[in-house]
Amino acid sequence: MALERTLSIIKPDAVAKNVIGQITSRFEAAGLKVVAAKLVRLSRAEAEQFYDVHRARPFFKDLVDFMVSGPVMIQVLEGEGAIAKNRDLMGATDPKKAAAGTIRADFADSIDANAVHGSDGPETAAAEVAFFFAGLNVYTR
């Protein structure tokens, strides 16, 4: 398995619940290393651009409203197979369908306020890391 980097966002609902540490502990326990991080409030333009692929979907405006409703914790996670590993830790998009013990099963309230974002493949991971951390000196061994 290859050493990969993936983008994680702890969304406003989870930040409001004060579980940044509990969620990050799950990444660390699974062997993922935080190599860049920032706690920020997204602008509407940033949220719209980040979720551009969903622009035509009926939930787009509500998704953007939600993502700008409070601060988010954005992290770059590094590890063997980091992209799939993070998706496994997150669980299904809809917390009602998420497997027991996943982040969304334990911390998410609904399909829209679902605690975390994680890149879904190598191309999106590269684009999403560059979107939020362009020019930053990401930690490397």
Residues annotated within the binding site for ATP are 11, 59, 87, 93, 104, 114
Residues 60-79 that bind ligand UDP (CB under 6 A): 63
Asked if 6 touches ligand UDP (CB under 6 A), the answer is no
Minimum Å distance from CB 63 to ligand UDP? 5
Give whole-number Cα distances, 1 to 8, 79, 83, 85, 123, in Å: 20, 10, 11, 11, 17
In this complex, which beta carbon is closest to ligand UDP, that of residue 122 or of residue 139?
122
Separation of alpha carbons 110 and 104, rounded Å: 9
| Structure letter (DSSP) for residue 104 | H
Is 117 an annotated catalytic residue? Answer: yes
Task: State both tokens at 82.
Answer: 């980091």
Minimum Å distance from CB 135 to ligand UDP? 26
Other Cβ atoms less than 10 A from the Cβ of 114: the count is: 23
Which positions are annotated as active-site residues?
A: 117
Residues that bind ligand UDP (CB under 6 A): 54, 59, 63, 93, 111-112, 114, 117, 120
